[in-house]
Structure 1
Amino acid sequence: MKFSLRTYTAYSIACAVVWAAILIVVATVRPQSLHMFVIVFFGWAIGWLSATVARSVYPPPRQRGQQAQSS
């Protein structure tokens, strides 16, 4: 099994780790700001979800070398 960090799955996992760390910091340092954090997080999550749907619906672009060979 090939292991690569340059995948959308690795990006998503890294984002989840970073958001969890930010949540811990906000909850311990400024608990009164937790509501604003949740609003910002949900805004980011909507963007992530739309990008994930777009990646699954639309095919990746062909590379230039493949385009010239198929014509």
Structure 2
Amino acid sequence: MLRNRNYWTYSAGLAIVWAVVLTLTLIIRGSDKAQIILLVFSGFCIGWVSTTIARYVYPPPKRWRVNHGE
């Protein structure tokens, strides 16, 4: 289970969930009414990019990192 606990697996899972949400919203509500969801998705993407940059610029302290060698 620990081998699947990383940032990229979580990102892929979120991408799949957002794809399902956006697809269902477009099918059920139509493109005119789905504009609010697209704005929320855009804000989420901006935040996700921001946290990704922060993770690389400010990595966690060594005591919080998982040691795979032990």
TM-score of the superposed pair, with normalisation by structure 2: 0.79
Partner of 2:67: none
- Give, as a single letter, the amino acid of the residue that structure 2 aligns with 1:13: A
CA RMSD after TM alignment: 1.7
Partner of 1:14: 13
Q: Find the aligned partners of 1:26 and 1:10 in 2 and give their Cα distance.
A: 24
Q: Find the aligned partners of 1:35 and 1:50 in 2 and give their Cα distance.
A: 23
Larger radius of gyration: 1
Which is worse superposed, 54-63 or 40-49? Answer: 54-63
Q: How many residues align?
A: 62
Which is worse superposed, 32-41 or 21-30? Answer: 32-41
TM-score of the superposed pair, with normalisation by structure 1: 0.78
Post-superposition offset of 1:63: 1.1
User: 1:4-52 deviations in whole A, cap 9, x for unaligned?
Assistant: 2200000110000000000111011111321111100001011100000
Structure 1 unaligned residues grouped into runs of 5+:
65-71
Structure 2 unaligned residues grouped into runs of 5+:
65-70
Confirm or deny that 1:57 pairs with 2:61. Answer: no
Q: Which has the higher contact order (CA 8 A, sep 6+)?
A: 2
Identity %: 40
